[in-house]
Chains A and B, each alone.
Chain A
Amino acid sequence: MFKNYFKIAIAVLKRRKFFTFISLFGISFTLTILMVSTAFMDKVLSPDYPDYKRERSLYITGIEIRNSKEGWMNSSNLSMYFLNHYVSTLKNVQKMGISSSAKPSNAYVNNKKLVIEYKYTNADYWNVLEYKFLEGKPFSQKEIDNAELIAVISKQTKEAYFGDEKSVVGKYISADNINYRVIGVVENVSKTLQNLSGDMYLPYTIAKENHNNTDVMGSYNAVLLAKSTADVPKMKMEFDQMMKKVPIPKDFDKIYCNADPFFTTVTRRLGGNSTDGAVTKVVSLVTGFVLLFLLLPTINLVNINITRIMERSSEIGVRKAFGASSKTLVYQFIVENMILTLLGGFIGLILSLLIIYLINGANLVSNMHLSMNFTVLFYSLLACLFFGLISGVYPAWRMSKLNVVKALKA
């Protein structure tokens, strides 16, 4: 049965090459765009180097204080004091990785300027996040306590600063007029991971800042790691309890700080604020936008499909006259349309691979490497089937309504 439908579908596709071209062009182009955007979303949302433990982690990226009467608002990253004094006391936090937001600085090598984004981190940062060390090792608590001038650099920095030297551990890199001893080289991190990417990582004790400051605002972010996935809700609750006890700075009456799962950090940044994680808002907006985008190619495909069905009215008339039910015909047509869509999807896949190759080659976002993995393929297949279904149902319904006598007469 299915084999027959397939044969018919191929025969129909061969009959009117121009229409086949229009349909395939529309389908493959639409699906290409969907696939490339899925690959991009997958890159941003699914666990990625070096942040593989997202299921077990909560992220703190900022704190906000408000004076609700006057309408003042002040927000920034967190201070080391806040993280060490309050957050580290939580029982459910197994480890806490702390890093400052990346700051750019210059270095000059052979009269060429190099922009180095550096971050200050604590020792557990290297345990929470799984950086891949190409050589050397991370710094430990002891080296942090001694405030040693040491640095872990990224592969990109190594290549730009030292050229093609084989091993650079033990060598010195000069930034901001200070010579740091390189103790490790790590694989590059994609710029899409805003809070983790950097070119040079330094012990936080050598940061030029006042370490006795008891302000809650500063320049650090933290990743909280729970013992297991099941402990994450407990950790979040404990954090929220703790926030109630944090003293509110003078002149202000409200303080907000959130420990979010990874997905919420993204939606909060896109459409939320300190009190609203905006998960539903962002998800519904994105879905709405995708559906709107699909509308035009769908209507176009429906139009073409109807035209093609009317062309086949004699065939349908004959089948109906010999007793085929409307249901069988609808079913047949939807299957045919699915075959067409999957064919378009295949072409789309090839086009997406090409586009992804081009995007990676152009290095649009620094160190971002898009790829076609099984998740992306799965979602793309889902998109194909959905597209095929919605563009096939209406024409099939129109066809099943066709009057036998009229159809045969034409």
Chain B
Amino acid sequence: MFKHLFKLIWNKRKQNFLFLSEILISFLVTFAVFSYLTYYYQNYSRPLGFDYNRVWSITYDNGQLPKNQDSLSTFYDNLNKSLKAMPQIEATAFSSNNYPYSDSFMSTGLTQNGKKFNYVSNFIVGADYQKVWQVKLLEGRWFLPEDVVTKDKGVIINETLKDQMFGKGKATGKFIGDFDDKNKLKVIGVVQDIKSNGDFSPIGNSIFIRLDTGYLKWTGTLLLKVRETADATFESKLYKFMATSTHGAVEIKHVDEMRDSRNEVTIIPMVIFIIIASFLIINVALGLFGVLWYNINKRKGEIGLRRAIGASGNLVSYQLVLESIILATISLIVGCFFAVQFPLLNVYNVPSSVYLIAMLLSVLFIYLLVFACSLYPGKQAAAIHPAIALHEE
């Protein structure tokens, strides 16, 4: 049976060539779409790791603040006290400007047993950072006031980095080297991964370092966890307070709104991409349907003859559907050859599982498409009456 079908396909190789190339390209398009979607779905399905509700960020211009380190420290202490005295504020923390959803990235390098880890997100955070974001600790503890005086600089790392550095074992109490392995940092805790760059962003390595007095002059970001009573009136009061204290430009942002706009950056291109891809697919489906339909109409004589010598209608439509499926298989084999290069060559630094899932999905999708497009023409062929078909001949 298969041998016979191959012979039929081979006899019409010129006509089938275009059909094959169309399926091949559709496969590559669907592969691209599914890789894209799988990648974002995998990221989306991971837990967020923190709570963004009722968190406000204040960015301020630090150019007018005292230059002297001691008076700057006093200034920040006073500011912190006045803010905490406001009944609407639950917790406050100063931070480097790469807080979640800020679209700003700061990285550092780390070494562990001679192995270098580059592009580790470097969050420089105030003492109450955990209270503001409700980050979950997996082991160890968060920064304590007495950490300032201890000999070793304490750091907190995230789960992904811990798994890469220490595997399944505990990390608390162990030492890691900084970017050129000259200074040692002591791990005092491990936190759950946080998706700091939007719901669809991948999780990278990150490290949390305590914001010390030396860094104060670089700080320009204050994070607040507010209570439910904080409304617009309070916000404008807070704004006036900050602007008078810092003598500079101040901006207050609500982190939940920033999250929406961060997600939009991913979602809008995704929607445009899906719309374009689905129109292309509809286009191809209609085209395939048309070509198959026409081909079958042209083969009326052959089909009539088969019916006349005893083939049932089902067998005839089975043959036609199978022929299309075999054609699709040939294209898919070529397509998979190209597609498999992506995980092999590790293009774009995306996990291989994304490409493999996408390949599987697109193979299934193309089979479904070809099957659906050949079903109706096959049915029609089965309905051909041998007497009429042969009469025309």
Whether, in the assembled complex, A311 has its beta carbon less than 8 Å from a beta carbon of chain B, the answer is: yes
Tell me the dominant secondary structure on chain A's binding face: helix
Which of A134-142, A157-165, A294-302, A317-325 lies on the face that meets chain B? A294-302
CB pair B294 A311 closer than 8 Å: yes
B235 is contacted by which of A19, A113, A306, A364 (Cβ under 8 Å)?
A113
Whether the Cβ atoms of A176 and B19 lie closer than 8 Å is no
Report whether B287 and A303 are in contact in the complex, using a CB–CB cutoff of 8 Å: yes
Which chain A residues border B25 with CB–CB below 8 Å? Answer: 295-296, 299
Q: Interface code B243-263, partner A: CB below 8 Å = 1, 0 otherwise?
A: 110011111100000000000
Known A-B contacts A22-B286, A300-B22, A307-B294; A113 and B232 likewise in contact (beta carbons under 8 Å): yes
| B18 pairs with A306, CB closer than 8 A | yes
Give the distance in Å from the alpha carbon of A106 to the alpha carbon of B26 in the complex.
49
**For A301, what are the chain B residues with a Cβ–Cβ distance below 8 Å?**
287
Task: Using A105-B249, A306-B18 as known contacts, say yes or no to A296 and B236 having CB atoms under 8 A apart.
Answer: no
What's the Cα separation between A201 and B177 when bound, in Å? Answer: 48
- How many angstroms between the C-alpha atoms of A113 and B254 in the bound complex? 11
Cβ of A296 and Cβ of B29 under 8 Å apart? Answer: yes
> B76 near A: Cβ within 8 Å?
no
A150 to chain B, nearest CB (A): 17
In the complex, chain A residues 208-246 whose Cβ is within 8 Å of any chain B Cβ:
208-209
B287→A304 contact, CB < 8 A? yes
User: Could you say which residues of chain B place their CB within 8 Å of the CB of A3?
Assistant: none
User: Taking the complex as formed, is A52 at the interface, i.e. its CB lies under 8 A from any CB of chain B?
Assistant: no
Let me know if A26 is at the binding interface, CB within 8 A.
Answer: yes
User: What is the CA–CA distance of A33 and B243 in the complex, to the nearest angstrom?
Assistant: 47
Interface residues on B, range: 35 or more
Q: Which residues of B contact A22 (CB under 8 A)?
A: 283, 286-287, 290
User: Given A208-B63, A299-B18, are A25 and B232 neighbors across the interface (CB < 8 Å)?
Assistant: no
In the assembled complex, A287 has its CB within 8 A of some CB on chain B: no
CA distance A18 to B236 in the complex (A): 63
> Which of A29, A111, A176, A303 contacts B243 (CB under 8 A)?
A176
Residues B280 and A297 in contact, CB atoms below 8 Å apart: yes
Asked whether B286 lies within 8 Å of A296 as measured between CB atoms, the reply is: no
Q: Give the residue of B249, B276, B280 whose beta carbon is less than 8 angstroms from that of A176.
A: B249
**Is the pair B276, A111 in contact by a Cβ cutoff of 8 Å?**
no
Tell me the residues in window 1-55 of chain A with beta carbons closer than 8 Å to chain B beta carbons.
18-19, 21-22, 25-26, 29-30, 33
Total count of chain A residues near the partner, CB < 8 A:
36
Which of A26, A112, A297, A299 is within 8 Å of B232, CB to CB? A112
Do A297 and B248 touch (CB < 8 A)? Answer: no
A295 to chain B: which residues have CB within 8 Å?
25
A300→B290 CA distance, assembly (Å): 10
Instruction: Check A176 against B22 for contact (C-beta < 8 Å).
Output: no
Bound together, the chains give a CA A121 to CA B268 distance in angstroms of 34
Contacts of B63 on A, CB cut-off 8 Å?
208-209
When C-beta atoms are compared, the residue in chain A nearest to B248 turns out to be: A208
What is the bound-complex CA distance between A307 and B290, given in angstroms?
A: 9
- What does the 1/0 interface line of B73-109 toward A look like (CB < 8 Å)? 0000000000000000000000000000000000000
Output the least CB separation between B286 and chain A (Å): 4
Min C-beta distance of B262 to chain A, whole Å: 16
Question: Is B314 positioned at the interface, with any CB of A under 8 Å from its CB?
Answer: no
Q: Determine if A103 and B249 form an interchain contact, defined as CB atoms under 8 angstroms apart.
A: yes
Q: What residues on A are CB-neighbors of B287 within 8 Å? A: 22, 26, 300-301, 303-304
Q: State whether the Cβ of B298 lies closer than 8 Å to any Cβ in chain A.
A: yes
Q: For residue A314, give the distance in angstroms from its CB to the closest CB of chain B.
A: 13
CB distance from A247 to the nearest CB of B (A): 25
Selected from B233, B283, B298, the residue in CB contact (under 8 A) with A29 is B283
The answer to whether B251 touches A115 (Cβ under 8 A) is yes
A304 to B295, CA, bound (A): 11
Contact with B along A363-385 (1 / 0, CB 8 A): 01000000000000000000000
Which residues of chain B in 263-310 are interfacial with respect to chain A, using CB atoms and an 8 Å cutoff?
A: 268, 276, 279-280, 282-284, 286-287, 290-291, 294-295, 298
- Segment 1-55 of B: residues with Cβ below 8 Å from A: 15, 18-19, 21-22, 25-26, 29
Residues of A within 8 A of B248 (CB): 176, 208
**Cα distance, A301 to B243, chains bound together (Å):** 63
A18 touches B290 (CB 8 A): yes
Residue of A nearest to B24 (CB): A299
A106–chain B nearest beta-carbon distance, Å: 5
- Indicate which residue in A176, A296, A306 contacts B26 across the interface (CB closer than 8 Å): A296
Q: Is A194 an interface residue (CB 8 A)?
A: no
- Whether the pair A108, B236 counts as a contact (CB closer than 8 A) is yes
Q: Which of A300-336 contact B (CB under 8 A)?
A: 300-304, 306-307, 310-311
Query: A280 on the interface (CB 8 Å rule)?
Result: no
Question: Does A177 reach chain B (CB closer than 8 Å)?
Answer: yes
For B21, the chain A residues whose CB sits under 8 A away are 299
A108 cross-chain contacts in B, Cβ below 8 A:
232, 235-236, 239
User: Chain A nearest CB: distance from B209 CB in Å?
Assistant: 21
B181 CB contacts on chain A under 8 angstroms: none
Q: Is the CB of B249 within 8 A of A303?
A: no
Chain A contacts with B in 343-375, Cβ cutoff 8 A: 364
A115 neighbours in B (Cβ, 8 Å):
251
Q: Tell yes or no: B61 within 8 A of A by CB.
A: yes
Contact between B286 and A106, CB atoms less than 8 A apart: no
Residue in B18, B244, B249, B283 whose CB lies within 8 Å of A296: B283
Q: Complex: how many Å from CA A26 to CA B18? A: 17
A271 within 8 A of B: no
The answer to whether the Cβ of A104 comes within 8 Å of any Cβ in the partner chain is yes
Contacts A177-B243, A296-B284 given; indicate if A303 touches B233 (C-beta within 8 A). no
B392 vs chain A, min Cβ distance (A): 11
- Cα distance A303–B25 in the bound complex, in angstroms: 13
- Contact (Cβ within 8 A) B283 A25: yes
**Which of B239, B250, B268 is close to A364, meaning CB atoms less than 8 Å apart?**
B268
Question: Measured between alpha carbons, how far is A176 from B240 in the docked complex, in Å?
Answer: 8
CB distance from B102 to the nearest CB of A (A): 12
Are A106 and B276 touching (Cβ within 8 A)? no
A113: chain B residues at CB < 8 Å are 232, 235-236, 252
19 CB-based A-B contacts, threshold 8 Å:
A21-B286, A22-B286, A29-B279, A29-B283, A30-B283, A104-B251, A111-B232, A111-B233, A295-B25, A296-B284, A299-B18, A299-B21, A299-B22, A299-B25, A304-B290, A307-B290, A307-B294, A307-B295, A311-B294
- 18 more A-B contacts (CB under 8 A) besides A301-B287, A303-B287, A307-B295? A26-B283, A26-B287, A30-B283, A33-B276, A105-B251, A108-B232, A108-B235, A112-B232, A177-B240, A177-B243, A296-B22, A296-B26, A296-B280, A296-B283, A299-B21, A299-B22, A300-B287, A306-B15
Closest 6 pairs (CB-CB, A-B): A108-B236, A177-B243, A300-B287, A111-B232, A22-B286, A307-B294
